[in-house]
């Protein structure tokens, strides 16, 4: 399951994890640690797939069953609680997420102390909530405090320290403080390459996000090769259909478009659409978006016939799976009308 998950084959991983969770439940009962662990793994896969409501439901059901036999401060239960809080934060339920993380933090500080790695992970989660609430100054201070403790306790090149530094850089970029983010990303990337290797996921994340920061400053001549490098390494180490590979390829495509290379960009979006179709399903919104973007780029590249063919094929598929009046349908019909008129095609 770990290999399927790591390579982004999430639908297959979810199917097999459901089977494992059901088998463990039948064999050992709902409160057995193996059953709870299996359901936690299923929740993680669902979260990564984007099925947040179902992930939260899996976590809550596992917690209800665990409560019959396990206290709410046992490590396995704390893991469930933490993962549920992460999902709630992503869903925008910040009050509930903050309450849960705060309760977990009290247990961890009492049990492990203020500077234990698990305590620091929870403090980082609370810092993210501050950022989500728009408290940028407070969030930055919290990130920098956690970073300082990590660097002192575990060392500046420890993977957890480097992860926190990357999170700080992301916060700065989110505030559009791109030169500062660039500096943090460059420092973290250099340390990651030395400590973790050039193909490590943390290294590639920092290189990808550095490319984003560069692109947001208009430094496309450096950003594009970095995106290409990340795509190649993720394709080789994670597989072409892994979500992180496809995200990097999408951002490469957008950067090529901004650099005035729409034909090359269209090819990247073709690969993105195909990858998302294989992993998310041919009718997922992300597939529609990628195909529509490709059609736009083909038009910009001076390939109106190819653009029209892509739009027509996309409309045919959309009409099959969406109800009349759906915004996707009306958008395609309106754009195709303009394309045909411009091309003299009725």
Give pLDDT tens digits for 63-107: 999 998 888 889 999 999 999 999 999 999 999 999 999 999 999
Distance, CA of 346 to CA of 337 (rounded, Å)? 8
Q: At 50, is the pLDDT very low, low, confident or very high (cuts 50, 70, 90)?
A: confident
**String of b and e for 53-87 (b: at least 16 CB within 10 Å)?**
ebbbebbeebbebbeeebeeeeeebbbbbbbbbbb
Q: Which residues contact 187 (CB under 8 A, 6 or more apart)?
A: 165
pLDDT, tens digit, 9 for 90 and up, residues 246-290: 999 999 999 999 999 999 999 999 999 999 999 889 999 999 999
pLDDT, tens digit, 9 for 90 and up, residues 155-179: 999 988 998 999 999 999 999 999 9
Q: 94-112 and 117-132 helices cross at what angle (nearest 10)?
A: 160
On whether the CB atoms of residues 97 and 85 are closer than 8 A, the answer is yes
């Amino acid at each position: 399951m770990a290999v399927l998950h790591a390579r982004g084959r999430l639908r297959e991983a979810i199917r097999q994890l459901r089977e494992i969770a059901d088998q463990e439940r039948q064999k050992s009962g709902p409160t057995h640690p193996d059953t709870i662990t299996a359901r936690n793994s299923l929740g993680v896969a669902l979260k990564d797939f984007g099925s947040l409501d179902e992930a939260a439901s899996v976590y809550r059901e596992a917690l209800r069953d665990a409560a019959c036999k396990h206290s709410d401060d046992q490590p396995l239960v704390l893991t469930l609680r933490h993962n549920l809080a992460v999902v709630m934060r992503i869903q925008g339920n910040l009050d509930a997420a903050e309450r849960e993380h705060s309760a977990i933090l009290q247990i961890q500080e009492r049990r492990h102390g203020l500077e234990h790695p698990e305590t620091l992970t929870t403090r980082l989660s609370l810092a993210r909530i501050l950022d989500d609430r728009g408290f940028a100054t407070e969030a930055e201070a919290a990130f920098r405090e956690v970073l300082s403790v990590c660097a002192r306790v575990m060392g500046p090149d420890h993977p957890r320290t480097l992860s926190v530094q990357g999170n700080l850089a992301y916060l700065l970029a989110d505030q559009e403080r791109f030169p500062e983010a660039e500096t943090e990303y460059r420092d973290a990337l250099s340390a990651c390459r030395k400590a973790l290797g050039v193909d490590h996921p943390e290294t590639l994340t920092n290189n990808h996000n550095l490319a984003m920061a560069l692109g947001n400053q208009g430094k496309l001549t450096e950003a594009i090769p970095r995106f290409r490098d990340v795509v190649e390494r993720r394709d080789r180490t994670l597989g072409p259909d892994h979500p992180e590979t496809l995200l990097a390829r999408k951002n490469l495509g957008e950067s090529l478009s901004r650099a005035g290379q729409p034909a090359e960009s269209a090819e990247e979006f073709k690969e993105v659409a195909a990858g998302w179709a294989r992993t998310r399903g041919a009718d997922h919104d992300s597939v529609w978006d990628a195909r529509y973007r490709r059609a736009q780029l083909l038009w910009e590249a001076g390939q109106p016939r190819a653009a029209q063919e892509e739009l027509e094929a996309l409309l045919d598929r959309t009409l099959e799976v969406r109800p009349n009046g759906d915004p996707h349908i009306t958008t395609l019909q309106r754009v195709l009308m303009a394309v045909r008129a411009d091309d003299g095609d009725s």
